[in-house]
Amino acid sequence: AYLWDQTVSDDSSHSDIIPFGTLYDRDTITKAINAKNSLEMQRICPSIDISGHGTHVAGIAAGNGNGNDNEQNTKYRGVAYESTLIIVKLKTSGGASFPTTTQIMLAVDFCIRKSIDMNMPIVINLSFGTSNGSHSGTSLLEAYLDYIAGNYRCAVSVGSGNDGAGFGHANGSSYPADAELAIGYPEPSLSIDLWKKYWDEIQLRISAPNNDMLEIPDTITNQAKGFTYRYRLDGTDIYITGGGPSPYSPFQEIFIELMGSEYISPGIWKISLEPISVKDGSWDIWLPSGALRNAQTSFIHASPDITLTIPSTAQNVISVGAYDSRTNRTAAFSGRGYTWAFDSIKPDIIAPGVDIISCSNTGGYTSKTGTSMAAPFVTGAAALLMEWGIVRGNDLYMYGDKLKASLIKGAGENVFTTASRAVSENTSKNTKYPNPVTGWGTLCLLDSIP
């Protein structure tokens, strides 16, 4: 029905609902699909999926199966293959790998407004995430998604991320504590996101591979106002920013950015946390997602828990982990819960996410792996539940928490739990539900229909 490309500039299409980018409607998209050749297609609709990620995800949720020939339309078609699609290609800027909160919120708002205009129920699929945040579900974006997920005739499905086996998370329940970090070569820059309770006052020290040490004044890191601190250690620039609680989060972030003149000094870095005045004692540190850093850059003593990416930690969305449907084993990479600080049950459910065949941006079909592939299985299943309930009149209230509850009710308990490299493997079928790996179990649409 619509394609909003936030990356293609066209001032003539801007309005209150589209403040930037270009909007293509059904007529334009249809003309492009029916164009004589690719050049004519791009002239009519110059929006291009370069990575193929969005095309693959959309194909799982709603592909019609006609990518090669009509004989294969049953084999490779998506879950809700007669659905109407609203697509937003998100914009990133300044070399960032993740769109801004504003860009995502505008995209979601656009989809909701158009679904209301078309008088159709909607499921929003978010197959992306970031490790930058408290993982507690209290960020501005997550608060917004919680509000949206409770809207009339709406549901939101979010992948839990692929950091379960990435050695990118370290934590502890008391002070003093040390977090040792191996930084590989070459690593031009690295962000380290430390979260603690604001009411715990600590002393922060950073040690470089050459044993030089930086001690951050506690008068800086324990204040309620924002702070910025800069230092140079072992040929590496260190930027420390953060602040106290916000109106929508009671926690404190200390954000550490390491930047080399060319590369960060490789070796073992250590972050030491010394107590000053402690009431709780818990702390967590996250690195960027594994795809955004050197393969050798990781915590020495890592934890696979709370490796959900944001915004899958939002309370009201349907958070989706991944499993291998051929072996009935959970995927080691699948982001794990529960949420930080509040222990909300996440993921909610798991779906197939290993070697999934779907549409390729170059034509035909291709195979991809990740929770990005698991989320659209749940998106398509939610669309079918809405069709059964709302469109066909069996249950006019099949949306929001009721839809989520139906999926949880039908979830299967039929997978082995495969742990990440950081912990041992448990092959017992006596897995308790819910749990931080599988949530409430595997997607089963048939058993989810009331």
CATH code for position 356: 3.40.50.200
Statement to judge: residues 267 and 389 lie in one domain: no
% of the chain at pLDDT higher than 90: 79
Statement to judge: residues 205 and 254 lie in one domain: yes
Give the pLDDT of residue 426: 41
Give the pLDDT of residue 70: 53
Residue 104 lies in a domain: no
Give the pLDDT of residue 13: 66
**What CATH number did the domain enclosing 254 receive?**
2.60.120.1290
Rounded to 10°, the helix 371-386/400-410 angle is: 110
Statement to judge: residues 177 and 268 lie in one domain: yes
β-bridge mates for residue 249, sequence order: 246
Statement to judge: residues 377 and 281 lie in one domain: no
Phi-psi region of 386 (alpha: psi -120 to 50; beta: other; left: phi over 0): alpha
Statement to judge: residues 237 and 346 lie in one domain: no
Last residue in a domain, options 259, 276, 299: 299
Statement to judge: residues 291 and 373 lie in one domain: no
- Cα–Cα distance measured from residue 240 to residue 328, given in angstroms and rounded to the nearest whole number: 44
Give the pLDDT of residue 423: 39
- Residues 6 or more apart whose Cβ sits within 8 Å of residue 233: 206, 208, 212, 213, 214
Residue 113 lies in a domain: no
pLDDT digits (tens, 9 = 90+) for 346-387: 999 999 999 999 999 998 899 999 999 999 999 999 999 999
Cα separations (Å) of 206 from 32, 68, 211, 268, 376? 55, 56, 10, 11, 42
The stretch 161-186 carries a mean pLDDT of 96
Model confidence at 291: pLDDT above 60: yes
Residue 259 lies in a domain: yes
pLDDT digits (tens, 9 = 90+) for 308-357: 999 999 999 999 999 999 999 999 999 999 999 999 999 999 999 999 99
Statement to judge: residues 182 and 284 lie in one domain: yes
The residue written with tokens 């509040």 in the block is 342
Residue 33 lies in a domain: no
DSSP 11: G
Terminal C-alpha separation, the chain: 30
- Cα–Cα distance measured from residue 21 to residue 288, given in angstroms and rounded to the nearest whole number: 28
Model confidence at 419: pLDDT above 70: no
Q: How many domains does the structure of the chain reveal?
A: 2
pLDDT digits (tens, 9 = 90+) for 113-125: 999 999 999 999 9
Residue 67 lies in a domain: yes
Residue burial 332-369, b: 16+ Cβ < 10 Å; e: rest: bbbbbbbbbbeebbbbbbbbbbbebbbbbeeeebbebb
% of the chain at pLDDT higher than 70: 94
pLDDT digits (tens, 9 = 90+) for 193-226: 999 999 999 999 999 999 999 998 877 777 777 8
Statement to judge: residues 142 and 196 lie in one domain: no
Give the pLDDT of residue 185: 94
β-bridge mates for residue 213, sequence order: 207
Domain that holds residue 356: 49-84+120-164+309-448
pLDDT digits (tens, 9 = 90+) for 121-152: 999 999 999 999 999 999 999 999 999 998 88
Statement to judge: residues 358 and 430 lie in one domain: yes
- Cα–Cα distance measured from residue 444 to residue 154, given in angstroms and rounded to the nearest whole number: 20
- Cα–Cα distance measured from residue 219 to residue 31, given in angstroms and rounded to the nearest whole number: 62
- Residues 6 or more apart whose Cβ sits within 8 Å of residue 265: 183, 208, 209, 210, 234, 235, 236
Last residue in a domain, options 236, 265, 299: 299
